[in-house]
């Protein structure tokens, strides 16, 4: 009874350290990646007046994708670091002396890896596609639907590529005063529009500005003459003409069933969609394989009084190689779906090999059950 209680306490002790380290390392790396990637959207805040709340909401939708990518890697790092520290502090030696087998020593790490794999499946199959769809919808809305509401008084605002808008004043009811628009979306029809008043209208096609009492100035490309057209009312489209009228769903935001039976806009992209589906199914499994790589580096081999850096460095080199194989196999499978087996092999095979090195000797040393002898009913003459 005491032995079972001790084993449970040791498992809880090691698992607690692993879980805390995994949350800390994954959270820190996610924050670092978010910080670097969010710099792409700083322009929306600086040049277009996007609020900080909207900026955080937009970039926050990218976080689940970051976590799903780095979770298998952080699982390897945490298992390698924690078990290496336990070995350096001779705690693994004490656990072995207490009668724990290699499987007993690896049990907390395997439990953590299984938990990471389940979290990876939840992220890759449900959370990440939903967050990416919300992110692209939000980004599309900002670029094409609410660009007009980013106009500020006394600021030259690029409402769309080649379209710059200046507003001298803006009333509480939304009316614009002193509007200047430089429209260079079509180089052959570069025009400058001036208007005394205007107001914004929102349509399905995009934002419009209705101008009143103004003029349109345009230089004729053939004659070089300045043409001036005065108007009482004129409507200007402020939407981004470089974007298509309707947003096309990307493979990163569609569900798994759609990826397995793809119907993309470009039929040539169908192999890439199928490879993306298998990537979602195989990527979480790498958390278990990478954890077994780290365990194999720490728990195998002979015991040494002084810690050696050879095996940790070797495991890191193996991890780098596995990540490279993952990228190459995914690219090859996206080009030719006949190579999808490579994706499953690189996700499962390293874990199987490491598990054999870890637990194979223990299974081979397991004593066989003695055969029962049947007593003869008759004596031998």
Of the two residues 203 and 119, the one the predictor is more confident about is: 119
Of the candidates 124, 126, 130, 120, the one whose C-alpha atom is nearest the C-alpha of residue 22 is 120
Does the pLDDT of residue 2 top 70, yes or no?
no
Confidence at residue 377, expressed as pLDDT on a 0 to 100 scale: 46
For residue 76, give Cα distances in angstroms to 44, 45, 257, 316, 329.
37, 37, 30, 9, 20
β-sheet bridge partners, residue 198: 176, 211
* Prediction pTM value: 0.75
| Closest to 326 measured CA to CA, from 290, 367, 274, 363 | 290
Residue 144: predicted pLDDT = 59
State pLDDT tens for residues 228-274.
Answer: 888 888 888 776 655 555 567 789 899 999 999 988 878 888 999 99
Q: Render pLDDT for 66-98 as a digit per residue (tens, 0 to 9).
A: 999 999 999 999 999 999 999 888 888 888 888
Token output for 367: 């004593």
Query: Diameter of the chain by CA atoms?
Result: 133
Dihedral sign, Cα of residue 111, residue 113, residue 117, residue 119: positive
Q: What is the pLDDT of residues 101-111, one digit of tens each?
A: 888 899 999 99
pLDDT tier, 191 (very low <50, low <70, confident <90, very high otherwise): confident
pLDDT at 168 over 50: yes
Determine the Cα–Cα distance for residues 61 and 346; give it in Å rounded to an integer: 29
Residue 123 to residue 67: CA distance in whole angstroms: 8
Mean pLDDT of 204-208: 68
275-314 residue pLDDT tens: 999 999 999 999 999 999 999 989 886 655 555 678 888 9
Residue 379: per-residue pLDDT: 42
Is the CA virtual torsion 357, 358, 359, 364 positive or negative? Answer: positive
Q: Compute the mean pLDDT over every residue in the chain, rounded to the nearest whole number.
A: 84
* 347, 282 Cβ separation under 8 angstroms: yes
Residue 375 confidence (pLDDT)? 44
C-alpha Rg value of the chain to the nearest Å: 32
> Residue 378: pLDDT band by 50, 70, 90 thresholds?
very low
H, E, C per residue of 57-89: HHHHCCHHHHHHHHHHHHHHHHHHHHHHHHHHC
Instruction: Measure Cα distances from 51 to 55, 57, 85, 150, 240 in Å.
Output: 6, 10, 45, 10, 21
Which of 128, 187, 139 is CA-nearest to residue 162?
A: 187
Positive or negative, the CA dihedral 185, 186, 188, 194 is negative
DSSP state of 161: T
Query: Which range among 120-129, 237-246, 285-294, 326-335 shows the weakest confidence by mean pLDDT?
Result: 237-246
In this predicted structure, what is the pLDDT of residue 198? 87
Per the CB < 8 A criterion, the answer to whether 178 and 191 are in contact is no
| pLDDT for position 380 | 39
Q: What is the tens place of the pLDDT at every residue in 6-42?
A: 788 888 999 999 999 999 999 999 999 999 888 877 7
Which one, of 336, 238, 241, 348, lies nearest residue 285 by Cα?
348
pLDDT of amino acid 344: 96
- Nearest 5°: CA angle at 132, between 128 and 138? 145
């Amino acid at each position: 009874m005491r032995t079972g209680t001790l084993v449970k306490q040791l498992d809880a002790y090691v698992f607690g350290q692993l879980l805390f380290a995994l949350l800390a390392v994954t959270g820190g790396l996610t924050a670092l990646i978010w910080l670097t990637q969010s710099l792409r959207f700083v322009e929306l805040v600086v040049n277009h007046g996007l609020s900080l709340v909207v900026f955080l909401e937009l970039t926050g939708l990218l976080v689940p994708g970051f976590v799903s990518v780095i979770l298998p890697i952080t699982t390897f790092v945490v298992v390698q670091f924690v078990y290496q520290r336990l070995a350096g502090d001779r705690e693994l030696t004490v656990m072995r002396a207490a009668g724990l087998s290699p499987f007993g020593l690896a049990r907390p790490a395997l439990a953590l890896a299984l938990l990471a794999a389940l979290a990876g499946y939840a992220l890759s199959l449900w959370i990440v596609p939903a967050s990416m769809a919300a992110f692209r919808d939000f980004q599309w809305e900002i670029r094409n639907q609410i660009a007009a509401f980013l106009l500020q008084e006394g600021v030259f605002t690029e409402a769309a590529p080649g379209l710059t808008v200046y507003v001298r004043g803006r009333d509480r009811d939304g009316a614009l005063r002193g509007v200047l628009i430089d429209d260079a979306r079509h180089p052959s029809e570069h025009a400058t529009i001036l208007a005394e008043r205007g107001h914004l209208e929102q349509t399905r096609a995009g934002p419009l500005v209705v101008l009143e009492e103004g003029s349109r100035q345009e230089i004729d490309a053939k004659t070089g003459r300045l043409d001036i057209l005065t108007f009482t009312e004129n409507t200007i489209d402020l939407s981004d003409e470089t974007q298509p009228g309707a947003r096309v769903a990307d493979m990163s935001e569609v569900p798994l069933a759609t990826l397995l039976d793809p119907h993309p806009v470009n039929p040539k992209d169908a192999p890439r969609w199928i490879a993306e589906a298998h990537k979602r199914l195989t990527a979480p499994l790498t958390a278990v394989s990478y954890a077994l790589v780290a365990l194999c580096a720490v728990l195998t081999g002979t015991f040494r009084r002084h810690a050696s850096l050879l095996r940790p460095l070797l495991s890191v080199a193996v991890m780098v190689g596995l990540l490279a194989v993952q990228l190459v196999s995914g690219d090859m499978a996206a080009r030719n779906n006949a190579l999808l087996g490579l994706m499953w092999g690189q996700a499962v095979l390293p874990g199987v090999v490491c598990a054999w090195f870890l637990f194979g000797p223990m299974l081979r040393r397991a004593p066989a059950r003695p055969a029962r002898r049947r007593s003869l009913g008759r004596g031998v003459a």
